[in-house]
Structure formats: C-alpha cells, structure tokens
Amino acid sequence: MEQLVILLVSLPLLAGIVNQLFSRSLGYGSAKLSVYAAVVTFVVALLLLAQMFSSDHTAQVALNDNWGILLADPLSSLMAVLITGISLIVRIYSVRYMIEESGYGRFFMLLDLMTASLLLMVASGDLITLVVAWHLVGVVLYFLLGFDTKSPVASRYALWTLVTYRIGDMALVLAAVLLYHAFGTWSLNEIFAEITANPGQHHYFGMAVEEAVGLLLALAAFARSAQLFLHTWLPYTMDGPSPVSALMHAGIVNAGGFLINRFAPVFVQTESVMHLLFVMGLVTAIIGSVLMLTQNDIKKALGYSTMGQMGFMIMECGVGAFSLAIYHLIAHGLFKGTLFLSAGSVINEARQHDGVPKQDLYTFIVERRTAKRRQPWLVMAGITLAVPIVILFMAHWLVAQDFFQKQGAIVLLFFGWITGAQLLFNTYRMDVQNVWRLVGMIIFSFALVILGYVLISHAFDVFLYPDSAFRSEIYAAAHIDVFWFDVLVVLTTAIIVAGWVLTYYSEQKRLVGGEQLNRLWLSFYALVSREFYLTDLYAWLSRALLKASARLNVLLRWR
C-alpha cells in the first residue's frame, strides 16, 4: 500500500517533468505520454481503493522526518480515484481538442502537474505537505486558466483566481501554524489523536485552538469552493480551455469539502463553526442558483450552477453530513465535468439549428403553456405534500432507523421534500395527455433516486467513518437547541409555502398590489443581473488600491 501511494503522486509528477524537459523532441507525443501516465495512475488509484475495501487498516509513508508524509486511507483513496478518473477523461478529450493550440506540450505538462498537486493534497499526512500541495494547486491552476497567453481577459481572471486562492492559502497557513504550536507536531494523525484524547486543552488568545483552527479552515474551504463573497472568480474563468473548466469544476473546486472532511476530528470539537458552514453554504446555494437562472451564457450558467452546488456541499458539512458531502462532490464532479466537455458540442449544435424538441416539457417550462383541464386541486396538493415525505422517511428508515434523531438529517430530508414537492406541484399545471402516468413516473423516479442516494450515502458514511460513535459526534457538533431548530424549520416552511401561494396568486392575476410587486420583482432582477454588484465592487476596490499604491510611490519619490 505504501508503494502504491508513492506511485500515485510521483507518476504524474514524473510525466510532467519529462513533458517539460523534452517537449521539443516529444512533439505531439507529449499528449500520449500524459495519457499513458494518467491511465497507469488511475489503475494505481483503483488498486489503492480496492486494498482499502479488502483491509480495514490505513497506512502512511514518511519521505522525511518532519514532512512529506503520505496517507493511504479511505478518504484519500476515494478522492484519488475521482481525481485520476476525471483527469484521465480530460486528457483523452484534450488530445484532439487542443491539437491546434500553440503550447500543446505545455498544456499536458500543466495537466500532469495539476494532477500531481491534487493527489499530493488528498494524500497529505502532515500540515506542511498539505499547505505545499494546497498552494501549488492554485499556482498551477493560474497557469492553466491563463493558458492562452494571447488573451488578456483569460489572464485577468486567472489572476482573480490566484488572488482569491491566496486568501484561502493564508488561512490554511495560519491554521497549520496554530496546530503546530498547540500540539508540537506537523503530523495530522498525531494531532487528531491528541485532539480526540484531550479536546479543548489548548487555547489561543482565550479561544479553544480547535475553534480558531476550525474558523481558519472554514475560510480556506470557502475560498477554494467559491462560497459567497469569494466566488467571483468562478463564473468568469470561462476563457480558459474547456478541458480546464471541466477539471476545475469537477475536481479542484471540490477541495473545500475534502478539507473539511480531512479535518473532521477538529470540526467535531468546535462549537459554532459547523453553524457557520451551514449558513454560508445555504446562502451560497441560494444565491448561486438564483444567479445561474439569470445567465444567457451556457458556460457562465454552469459556473454559477457549480457555485450553488458547492454551497449545498458546504451546507451538508454544516449539518454534520460529512460523508454525504463527499458523495455530493463526486456526483457533482462527474456530471459537471460531462456538461463542460459537451458544452462546445451543444453550442455548435444550437448554431446549426435550434434543436429544441417541441415536447410537453418544453412548452410547459419555456413557453409557459399550462393545462386547460386540471385534476382536482386537493388531490394533487395532497400527493404533492405527502408522497415525497413518505418516500424520504421510508428510505431513511430502511437504511438507518436512528437517522431521524439527527437534526442534520431532518434538514436534508426537509430540502429533499421541498424539491420533490416542487416537482410534483408543477405537474399539476402541465399540459399532458395522461397526467397520472406522468405523476406515477415522477414518484417512481423520485423513489429510485432517493433510495439510491440514501443507500450510497450510507455506504460512504460507513466507509469513510467506520466508527459509529464518531459519526454521531459529527452530527452532534452540528446540533442546535431544539426550540430554535423547530422555530427555524417552521419559519423556512412558512417562507416556502408563502412563496408557493404568491406564485399561485400572481399567475392567477388575482394579486393585490400586483403592480408594485412587479416593480419590486424587476428591481430584484436588475440586481441579480448585475450579480449583486459584487464583481463591480471588487474591481473598484482593486483599482482604488492600485491608485493608492501609485500615489504613495509618487509621495515617497519612488524610494
């Protein structure tokens, strides 16, 4: 196992070095070299994961006394399969996609280095290696995003990414130093063992070290996973090559979820950090989704979609569903990678002919044509509200009966219920020949998705956190006072139901004060279309800083 984890990191690194040193003599062969290396690395990752399934022990190998510790554990092996799998697909795709670009060999070299950095990051067993790998991912991404050196726009947004990532890097470095000071070691396993044995023993300026470190790690995760206020780089980095977008959205941006899982023993000892994760994740998920809906550029819409998904992933961590966040990031990585790699074909197809099928779904959603004859409202409302919740409860009850005692599970069930109800509610107005057949199909699909989701996430839970007591501790760390929890659930339900009622009445044009609401709605749309002016604010701030720097230089006579 030790040899496998060394091979895992060194193979892409070696491929990258060879690609750089012999790029001229290799020519187009650099792509071949990169793909072969990726295939072997993927096989190594699979072998590592298989070993993890067959034996219940983890292993670590230290390349140096102080740092260079590589971990082979369930989390690193699972992430390694995801990273190597996606980077293999991206490489194969790039072989033809990038063929006409200058710097063909450089592109594959950078992909190799990115894979090596990502694998080093997930396999890091000590704080220094983690900081090094974490930082290198940002640096290599900067060069990948600015691959087209003729394009100042691509370069500008690559710089945005680098600057945002540096904010996260700063937080991670500070967290690493605090942990070292408290526990006197860089080794993650030793630190976690000490934290688990003696929680709350060390303090930093009156705050428990776990709390301070948890906050810093959360900030690092927010920057890497494009959470609100640190998200502006994500939708704007579309001038980079499509394979890079695919790799970034499928793999790199997920690093926040990984980091939180890696430091799970720290987060379970925190008091307020999990709530911060929940709130930030929730707000990001909502804002990201709202911004996605207003985009007319497919790649930018995908960018904001990623932001929303990352918000959901962080929110899952905030409710204590750590392993679910890993499952989410894998699922999201796979589908978002596919979307990016096929975005070019879709755009090309749309340019040839609109290709939009005149189906029921299209006429309902895009043309907003609703059914003239509808089923009894009460029956449909009953189905809408009852069916999703029954399916969700049944699925979770089948898998883990104590699930409902966890607040985090209730929150996720709640969101699942809302989503299911929303879907069913819409079919009520859809113009289809056989509405009952459609409802039946939706319920069947919903049950299948939920059951699959619950089963897989439970499997992830057991695989990543085999200790059931620790699993309960994670949920307990996300726990809030029952009274306030109930208040929040009732409040959220009331807002959502009010939204449904508002929609219903506005569509019936029976709304009192409809004109004012319409104006309010247009103002909101204008705000959203300007992306809440955050991008403008950051651009203005950046210009102001540069102006201040220039003035200072003049004042000090360039000395």
Binding site for another protein (CB under 8 A): 64-68, 102, 128, 131-132, 135-136, 139, 142-143, 146, 149-152, 155-156, 159, 162-163, 166-167, 169-170, 173-174, 177-178, 180-181, 186, 204-205, 545-546, 549-550, 552-553, 556, 558-559
Pairing state of beta strands 59-62 and 207-208?
Answer: unpaired
Specify the residue, 92 or 170, whose C-beta has the smaller distance to another protein.
170
Q: In angstroms, give the least distance from the CB of 264 to another protein.
A: 24
391: Cβ contacts below 8 Å, ≥ 6 apart: 420, 443, 446, 447, 450
Closest CA to 232 of 302, 307, 140, 333: 307
Closest CA to 373 of 422, 424, 423, 428: 428
Gap between the Cα atoms of 338 and 335, Å rounded:
5
Specify the residue, 233 or 340, whose C-beta has the smaller distance to another protein.
233
Specify the residue, 163 or 528, whose C-beta has the smaller distance to another protein.
163
Nearest-Å Rg of the Cα atoms of the chain is 25
Q: In angstroms, give the least distance from the CB of 554 to another protein.
A: 10
Specify the residue, 162 or 409, whose C-beta has the smaller distance to another protein.
162
Q: In angstroms, give the least distance from the CB of 131 to another protein.
A: 7
Gap between the Cα atoms of 272 and 282, Å rounded:
16
Q: In angstroms, give the least distance from the CB of 114 to another protein.
A: 15
Q: In angstroms, give the least distance from the CB of 543 to another protein.
A: 11
Q: In angstroms, give the least distance from the CB of 271 to another protein.
A: 19
Specify the residue, 173 or 449, whose C-beta has the smaller distance to another protein.
173
Specify the residue, 174 or 534, whose C-beta has the smaller distance to another protein.
174
**Which amino acid does the sequence have at 118?**
L
Closest CA to 243 of 92, 103, 430: 92
Integer CA distances (angstroms), 476 to 270, 301, 549, in order: 11, 36, 49
Specify the residue, 147 or 322, whose C-beta has the smaller distance to another protein.
147
Closest CA to 53 of 400, 333, 466, 399: 466
131: Cβ contacts below 8 Å, ≥ 6 apart: 169, 172, 173, 176
Q: In angstroms, give the least distance from the CB of 224 to another protein.
A: 15
3-class secondary-structure state, position 282: helix
Q: In angstroms, give the least distance from the CB of 22 to another protein.
A: 12
**Which amino acid does the sequence have at 50?**
A
Phi-psi region of 69 (alpha: psi -120 to 50; beta: other; left: phi over 0): beta
User: Which two three-digit tokens encode residue 74?
Assistant: 């369930």
Q: In angstroms, give the least distance from the CB of 531 to another protein.
A: 23
Residue 59, beta-bridge partner list = 72
Matching residue, tokens 């034996």: 55
Specify the residue, 173 or 410, whose C-beta has the smaller distance to another protein.
173
Specify the residue, 124 or 427, whose C-beta has the smaller distance to another protein.
124
57 touches 73 (CB < 8 A): no
